[in-house]
Structure 1
């Protein structure tokens, strides 16, 4: 068996749905990133062809987005593709699936990640009225059967924040901090090496300065008198992110992130935002390390209240002492949340922070996401030089 190592990591700029990338279909978001990652791992690709393309996607046109994207990127027809749907954890789950193929010896070079075009996602319709329903368009597929409540993610995030005692003030402060960190990182050029311009967009379009007074005036977005607002929630977005994973035997001295452990777990479907907690705990136990050993954490920031509920439970304080550990350059609250890609964006961010950032060999980084329907996904990586 060969340990999987991420040796290249790229993403598109993330565009707010309906804006700069509104006309770019999901496979056309993914294709240039696939091409850039292949170029980054040259000459490995001259010695070894790509064994598979694994992409996460939630609301695309159906079919096999990964295969369509690989062909759109100009890959040889012999390169297959598979599309993974674990909702907001899809991009990270795709990377874990690719890692398993390498670890088992079934593959030696796999491109994995995710892509989502909220702008061009089709409207779905029932041809025949379902039991108790009606024919015609519907908003989303169910996360759970009705007896589990099937809450929307915003409603569930408000519920989780309330149960875990996460105040409105802390949520607003965290959202403002995410945007402020992203603006600093963008202005300092810390995103530049990971970005692949697409559709005329060269940088993330969402980060902005959030005034505390403006945040405080925003009404509840999902629950009457709730604490989750548009200001402390992410935006529906368009984007793609891809990494290249190879076996340790093929790495040939390239620096990267070795995949130490990964996990996907279930939790209460009524509180899907809780999923990262048991997922992270399982990964740390498997690797026999503590969270105190981890230098960088990237969590998909769907809602500030959900992130803080998770970090509180894990013993992290991203508003104070751990601000440079948790999403140090901002997260999905500031950059946007292209659902099927966001988990892979977390790994791209870890690659930039740790590998491109010069962290010494042995430094640990963690990526995690909550998943609709009551699941969590997490992966632990180690810098290799």
Structure 2
């Protein structure tokens, strides 16, 4: 099989729902990003594959590619696997290259919760099985693992502190392509006393609940895209590849516990490749809820020193279809700042109880 490698990665600034990107349609948000990452590979592009969850439909990947001025021959495909859609887009491009279906793809995701035409969420599973809202599902995970409010709040503060540290060191600016006047994530426009906000936050489900707005992600607008290329072609073009696709796994669990869905995916992925958690140097898991992160770290034995080392969605937010691609973008830049990394992993859980994990080998 041919090897698929990632040679470019960028994301937009992330804005709050109803915030700085509130008037930007998904195709408009993705187009400058596509134009930028395609700059040196346009004549080799086979397709644009984007994840998107909340619409408006119409094959946003193709729409955005046309808006970006890419050649008419570059087709587009939009994927909805809920929160894992952006990571699935990257995985799909890698698998296409492995299978010999193409040699160069732009893959990622875009989400504009602000302009979504849908007044309420879709149904994720039959009512007879269970179709909880995501906050209720996060509370289910917290109850299953007997996670206290204090433990979840402590993880949220960790995420916030790591994110601010990465931002002040300029790490986030490396991965962000400015969008017009906006050059950084909206959350960083004003630093907050996170410890006070966490302490004051009220439970979202019931009086004795542990999940709050402060230990949950925000709903955001944003996009991310990577260039996935066949390794030999990348070498011929003089492109610097950072990550080589190694393997991936998708798992399904009970829809009442979607936050736990990355666990079996990661376990199966490591077992099939003869690896243990000790072999993985960096892990990015989407921080939808603190309860999810603690559950995954506990069950999988992930040391916090390897997990979301520059913060995550609990601080910057969760633009559904883009979040999985943001994880890979983060890894793309994190490995360039380190010398001692060989394997990295991105994983995400989705509504309906689906977990997706992708393993990459770091190229030196």
TM over 0.5: yes
1:380 is aligned to 359
1:215 is aligned to 198
2:279 is aligned to 293
Q: What whole-Å deviation, never above 9, does each CA across 1:312-361 have from its counterpart, x for those lacking one?
A: 1011242xxx2xx111111000111000000000000000100x32435x
Aligned length: 359
Alignment of 1:2-151 (within 5 A): 2-39=2-39, 42=40, 44-45=41-42, 48-124=43-119, 139-151=120-132
* 1:123 Cα deviation after fit: 2.7
The answer to whether the Cα contact below 8 Å between 2:113 and 2:319 also exists between their aligned partners in 1 is yes
The answer to whether the Cα contact below 8 Å between 2:54 and 2:118 also exists between their aligned partners in 1 is no
Structure 1 210/268 Cα, relative in aligned 2: closer, same or farther at 3 Å?
Answer: farther
* 1:198 Cα deviation after fit: 1.2
1:284 is aligned to 270
The answer to whether the Cα contact below 8 Å between 2:245 and 2:361 also exists between their aligned partners in 1 is yes
Most deviating of 13-22 and 197-206: 197-206
The answer to whether the Cα contact below 8 Å between 1:297 and 1:366 also exists between their aligned partners in 2 is yes
Query: Helix, strand or coil for the counterpart of 1:77?
Result: coil
Query: Helix, strand or coil for the counterpart of 1:192?
Result: helix
The answer to whether the Cα contact below 8 Å between 2:107 and 2:227 also exists between their aligned partners in 1 is yes
In the alignment, the residues of structure 2 paired with residue 302 and residue 108 of structure 1 have an alpha-carbon distance, to the nearest angstrom, of: 33
- Choose from 251, 265, 268 the match for 2:254: 268
* 1:30 Cα deviation after fit: 0.8
1:369 is aligned to 348
Query: Helix, strand or coil for the counterpart of 1:284?
Result: helix
In the alignment, the residues of structure 2 paired with residue 156 and residue 370 of structure 1 have an alpha-carbon distance, to the nearest angstrom, of: 12
Q: What whole-Å deviation, never above 9, does each CA across 1:214-255 have from its counterpart, x for those lacking one?
A: 312211012331000001010000000000011121121623
In the alignment, the residues of structure 1 paired with residue 49 and residue 274 of structure 2 have an alpha-carbon distance, to the nearest angstrom, of: 28
In the alignment, the residues of structure 1 paired with residue 339 and residue 294 of structure 2 have an alpha-carbon distance, to the nearest angstrom, of: 26
Unaligned runs of 5+ in 2: none
In the alignment, the residues of structure 2 paired with residue 155 and residue 218 of structure 1 have an alpha-carbon distance, to the nearest angstrom, of: 16
Please say if 1:232 is aligned against 2:231. Answer: no
2:241 is aligned to 255
Q: What whole-Å deviation, never above 9, does each CA across 1:90-142 have from its counterpart, x for those lacking one?
A: 00011111111100000100110000001101135xxxxxxxxxxxxxx2110
* 1:171 Cα deviation after fit: 0.7
The answer to whether the Cα contact below 8 Å between 1:259 and 1:382 also exists between their aligned partners in 2 is yes
Runs ≥4 residues deviating over 6 A: none
The answer to whether the Cα contact below 8 Å between 1:24 and 1:199 also exists between their aligned partners in 2 is no
Most deviating of 247-256 and 92-101: 247-256
* 1:189 Cα deviation after fit: 0.5
* 1:213 Cα deviation after fit: 4.0
The answer to whether the Cα contact below 8 Å between 1:115 and 1:241 also exists between their aligned partners in 2 is yes
* 1:384 Cα deviation after fit: 1.0
The answer to whether the Cα contact below 8 Å between 2:106 and 2:227 also exists between their aligned partners in 1 is yes
TM-score (norm 2): 0.96
Q: What whole-Å deviation, never above 9, does each CA across 1:175-233 have from its counterpart, x for those lacking one?
A: 11111111111111111221111142110112544443431221101233100000101
In the alignment, the residues of structure 2 paired with residue 316 and residue 370 of structure 1 have an alpha-carbon distance, to the nearest angstrom, of: 16
In the alignment, the residues of structure 1 paired with residue 197 and residue 170 of structure 2 have an alpha-carbon distance, to the nearest angstrom, of: 28
The answer to whether the Cα contact below 8 Å between 1:176 and 1:209 also exists between their aligned partners in 2 is no
The answer to whether the Cα contact below 8 Å between 2:160 and 2:194 also exists between their aligned partners in 1 is no
RMSD between aligned alpha carbons? 1.4
2:179 is aligned to 198
Please say if 1:302 is aligned against 2:285. Answer: no
In the alignment, the residues of structure 1 paired with residue 180 and residue 205 of structure 2 have an alpha-carbon distance, to the nearest angstrom, of: 32
In the alignment, the residues of structure 2 paired with residue 359 and residue 121 of structure 1 have an alpha-carbon distance, to the nearest angstrom, of: 42
TM-score (norm 1): 0.90
In the alignment, the residues of structure 2 paired with residue 154 and residue 68 of structure 1 have an alpha-carbon distance, to the nearest angstrom, of: 32
